[in-house]
Structure 1
């Protein structure tokens, strides 16, 4: 069984600025600092932010779904501003999923505007199809909102100087 969830959020910063945050490790650092209610820890276990980088995510107690997992950066396209990660250990894989991928895409909307499009794609074995109900776009949407607030704050600080 294959499924897909999407979320889009307009950002009031240029796509290049948004990509600086989403395209490397910066978003992981921000999430670890600013969302303790969602993530207990975000640890770099391998790599430098490029393709092949592995992060270990540990969710805060009480967050629905798996307690944590390791994800690997499988695609980073700086030209098209697309980054994909896949769960490679634990988490959804222990619940019968054969694929759990998150794609972040920064889309240029105008000179001072962009859209962060987040997509979750998953495949789950037929015998575990009921576990598909555990997949939610909410954590990704929360991260997008956090990023928007962070980018807006930085923009305001730059304009004030």
Structure 2
């Protein structure tokens, strides 16, 4: 098995705790509302939302993929961190991937906003390469989702206080 890791940072004018509540804690409800073309539905298959929870995510019409299973690996509200893995679905079946793991940390920024730091780890079957194009595509999708949530929070300033 090979392992390929990359980091990504996205800045926001929204404070970290508010962004964590919206982007992480309520993402199952909020993202299908804000970006229905990206994610159509999220269903909990097992668990209560905490560590070990397995979710079935159905992508929207605008996605090249149909669905994935997502497992919550860690969550720390006090430190605004969240870890999860894609463990099943056509995202993995489309290539030579065993799983994709993510670690998200939303930190305070000097201007009162936040910085979302994400580490993505691709676990490949055998010795495979993940193209720069695929990495760039993943970063762009994450950026669009984050900015859509930020836009929602600006339009609804009393949400997630």
Give the TM-score normalised by the residue count of structure 1: 0.80
Residues 23 and 78 of structure 1 are in contact (CA less than 8 Å); yes or no, is this contact kept in structure 2?
no
| Residue 138 (1) aligns with residue 137 (2) | no
Give CA-to-partner distance per residue, 1:30-70, whole Å, 9 cap, x none: 11112122223222222232112222112234523x42110
Output the CA distance in 1 between the equivalents of 2:144 and 2:47. 25
Gaps of 5+ in 2: none
Considering fraction of residues, name the structure with more helix: 1
Distance 1:85 1:98, change over 3 A: same
Q: How does 1:33-112 map to 2 (within 5 A)?
A: 33-61=33-61, 63-64=63-64, 66-94=65-93, 95-110=95-110, 112=112
Q: CA RMSD in A?
A: 2.3
* SS state at 2:106 partner: strand
Give CA-to-partner distance per residue, 1:71-123, whole Å, 9 cap, x none: 01101122321101111222344333123012221111247311122332111
Gaps of 5+ in 1: none
Give the TM-score normalised by the residue count of structure 2: 0.80
Residues 38 and 63 of structure 2 are in contact (CA less than 8 Å); yes or no, is this contact kept in structure 1?
yes
